[in-house]
């Protein structure tokens, strides 16, 4: 078993384990956990929130000191976490990186396809940009369609939850999404490329 773990970690006699991970203070209550996987060293920036540990940012350790830009990312995410926890009603924390679909049981394939569309959009925008072909993604959030209404997903509790999280105070309608789609397909949006457009009335998960 130990040999198998060493293979997974890409460790050899010439490349032994690095020092055991340890934590240190960065500034104020922001702390750093240093760890490694194989030869790669990583920094994890985190803070405590009462009895919880909130992981804010992870990146490769390429410098002796933590770059200010990396600390700034952790500060922004901590502020976002605080705002969500202080909101009424409270909203779930945003996953690290970009916004993700709302997590629900038995929705792993659905959520995975949503994430795949976002990733493919960004890749294609770079591949096709030289040919003057723009590729953007449109994330419509909750839209009141026949399919959604008939699925049973949009019950009264879910509708109330969506409305409470939507600053514009209503659920989206097909026309809301159609208008954005027409704009993105027109010459008026010629300078928009490689973007995930959230047309959801300000809804956040």
The residues annotated as belonging to the active site are 110
Distance (Å) of CA 28 to CA 2, 32, 47, 53, 86: 39, 11, 10, 15, 21
Strands 52-60 and 137-139: unpaired
CA pair distance 20, 35, nearest whole angstrom: 7
Count CB neighbours of 62 within 10 A.
9
Beta bridge partners of 36: 41
Which residue from 66, 200, 195 is spatially nearest to 134, judged by alpha carbons? 195
**3-class secondary structure, 34:** strand
């Amino acid at each position: 078993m130990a040999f198998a773990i060493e293979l997974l970690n890409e460790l050899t006699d010439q490349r032994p384990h690095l020092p055991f991970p340890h934590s240190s203070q960065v500034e104020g209550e922001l702390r750093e956990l240093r760890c490694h996987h194989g030869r790669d060293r990583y920094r994890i920036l985190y803070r405590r929130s009462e009895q919880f540990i909130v992981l804010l940012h992870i990146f490769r350790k390429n410098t002796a000191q933590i770059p200010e830009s990396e600390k700034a990312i952790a500060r922004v995410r901590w502020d976002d976490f605080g705002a969500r926890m202080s909101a009424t009603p409270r909203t779930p924390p945003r996953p690290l990186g970009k916004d993700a679909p709302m997590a629900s049981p038995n929705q792993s394939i659905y959520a995975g396809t949503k994430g795949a569309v976002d990733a493919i959009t960004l890749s294609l925008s770079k591949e096709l940009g030289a040919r003057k072909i723009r590729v953007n993604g449109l994330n419509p959030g909750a839209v009141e369609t026949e399919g959604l209404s008939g699925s049973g997903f949009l019950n009264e509790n879910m509708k109330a939850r969506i409305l409470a999280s939507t600053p514009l105070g209503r659920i989206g309608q097909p026309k809301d999404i159609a208008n954005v789609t027409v704009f993105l397909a027109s010459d008026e949006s010629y300078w928009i490329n490689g973007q995930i457009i959230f047309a959801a009335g300000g809804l956040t998960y």
